[in-house]
Amino acid sequence: MRTRHQDGWVEERGRRTKRWYGHYYVYEQDASGQETRRHIGVQLGEKAQMRKWEAENKLRDIIAAATKGRPIGNELTLEWFTRERFLPMREPQWAPSTHQTNLGNIDHHILPALGSMALAEIDKFQCQVFLNNLAQRNFSFTVVDHCRTMLKAILEEAVDQEFIGKNPARKVVNPETKESEKHVLAKEDAKRLMDALSFRDRLIVMVAAFCAMRPGEIFGLRWSSFRGDHFQIEGTAWRGALRPGKAKTKKSKAPVTIPDAIMPILNRWREQNATATAEDLIFPTERRKVKGKLIGGTPIRPENWLRRRITPIAETLQIAGPVNFQVLRRTFATNAQAHGNAKDVQVHLRHTDISTTLNEYTQAIPESVRKLVNDVANDVLTAKPKATLTVVSRRIQ
């Protein structure tokens, strides 16, 4: 029974003999699986023999029996609603990476803090304090913001399903959080790293650094995706499995320009894989025999590739900061400031919102800022005065 109607309501009926009459709703699924609401009315007893509170108590007992043990009142908690009503509806819509993130935030943050509370008792104050506590425990902005978004979505669904009247998390705000460092790879370090890598690994890093592609997109590339001067995203990879037709967003499926500098290396890689079909991966795992069985040829797992092939070399070269796909993608956006406008960068990174390109990926370059400031100052300070027009007036006699 939904919290909004968990106690039902009682009214007085009858002209001569006054009686208490109760109302409540039951929710059922029709043949198509859609939920329908059905009103139930029930006689509770004569007013002369029963006070109103007694009629209300009797109605609650009737409701409890009708719901067959389903939580009502204070037993209908945020955890119950999340697991029984929210997740069964939403989980099938989430991509694997989103699924992992959302469940992690629900299981490790939201439900431990608020799960035992009755839906009807959760208010804005408790939602905001929950987020404040996450920030005080030094969780990043990303974690806090994801928890805010997920909590808001859960409670909004509770409103839509009429378990509660309004969403208490609708206006909560993100507290101040520890600013996460957004690393960018120096140009010199990027060049040293690429020079030190093996042929295949260098090509992968170049695709990541200059095509600015996400790891799932790179390791989901098939030879049919190689269209001469660009890649066409036809699917992605996740945890070693290919996901044909899947992408992060609709914008992600846009063509990805391949720089001329990569073309000779990519063509040489194609020659080395001349027997590969159009449906084969461009960068599959290496095939090898294990107990007489040939395995491999599946999508590379990005975390394993970075740990085994990139991190040891970056550490040997004493490259400061982490080297991963996010850093390479952010490095491209930062370096692109000197060569194109923000819209061009957004198109290449295939972001839906240009603010993501500007705020999350494009980092300020101190040298560029100093040059900008000096240029403006010098322009003003070296400005030559314009010749003034002297107007000579003649007195009219």
pLDDT at position 6 is 55
pLDDT at position 174 is 93
**Distance (Å, rounded) from C-alpha 77 to C-alpha 371?**
58
Lowest-confidence pick of 126-130, 345-349, 358-362: 358-362
pLDDT at position 240 is 86
| Residue 292 CB contacts under 8 Å (≥ 6 apart), including other chains | none
Residue spans per domain, the chain: 3-72, 78-160, 187-359
Chosen CATH of 78-160 out of 2.60.40, 1.10.10, 1.10.150, 1.10.3470: 1.10.150
State the average pLDDT over residues 322-330.
92
Say if CB 19 and CB 45 are below 8 A apart. yes
The mean predicted confidence, pLDDT, of the chain is: 85
Helix axes 187-196, 325-335, angle to 10 degrees: 130
Q: How confident is the model at residue 163 (pLDDT cuts 50, 70, 90)?
A: confident
Give the pTM: 0.65
Q: What is the CATH number of domain 187-359?
A: 1.10.443.10
Q: How confident is the model at residue 381 (pLDDT cuts 50, 70, 90)?
A: low
Nearest residue to 365 via CA among 330, 319, 396: 330
Using the predicted structure, report yes or no on whether residue 66 has a pLDDT greater than 60: yes
pLDDT at position 350 is 86
Q: How confident is the model at residue 388 (pLDDT cuts 50, 70, 90)?
A: low
What share of the chain has pLDDT > 90, as a percent? 45
| Residue 266 CB contacts under 8 Å (≥ 6 apart), including other chains | 203, 226, 258
**CB-count burial class (<10 Å; 0-12, 13-18, 19+) for 376:** exposed
Per-residue HEC secondary structure of the chain comes to CCHHHCCCEEEEECCCCCEEEEEEEEEEECCCCCEEEEEEEEEEEEHHHCCHHHHHHHHHHHHHHHCCCCCCHHHCEHHHHHHHHHHHHHHHHCCHHHHHHHHHHHHHHHHHHHCCCEHHHCCHHHHHHHHHHHHHCCCEHHHHHHHHHHHHHHHHHHHHCCCCCCCCCCCCCCCCCECCCCCCCCHHHHHHHHHHCCHHHHHHHHHHHHCCCCHHHHCCCEHHHECCCEECCCEEEECCEEEECCCCCCHHHCCEECCCCCHHHHHHHHHHCCCCCCCCECCECCCEEECCEEECCCECCHHHHHHHHHHHHHHHCCCCCCCCHHHHHHHHHHHHHHCCCHHHHHHHHCCCCHHHHHHHHCCCCHHHHHHHHHHHHHHHHCCCCCCCCCCCCCCCC
State the average pLDDT over residues 216-231.
93
Please provide residue 140's backbone torsions phi and psi, each rounded to the nearest 5 degrees. Answer: -70, 165
Half-sphere exposure of 139 (CA within 13 A, CB side): 19
* pLDDT per position as a tens digit, 85-96: 999 999 988 888
State the average pLDDT over residues 358-379.
72
Half-sphere exposure of 293 (CA within 13 A, CB side): 3
Q: Is the dihedral of CA 282, 288, 290, 291 positive or negative?
A: positive
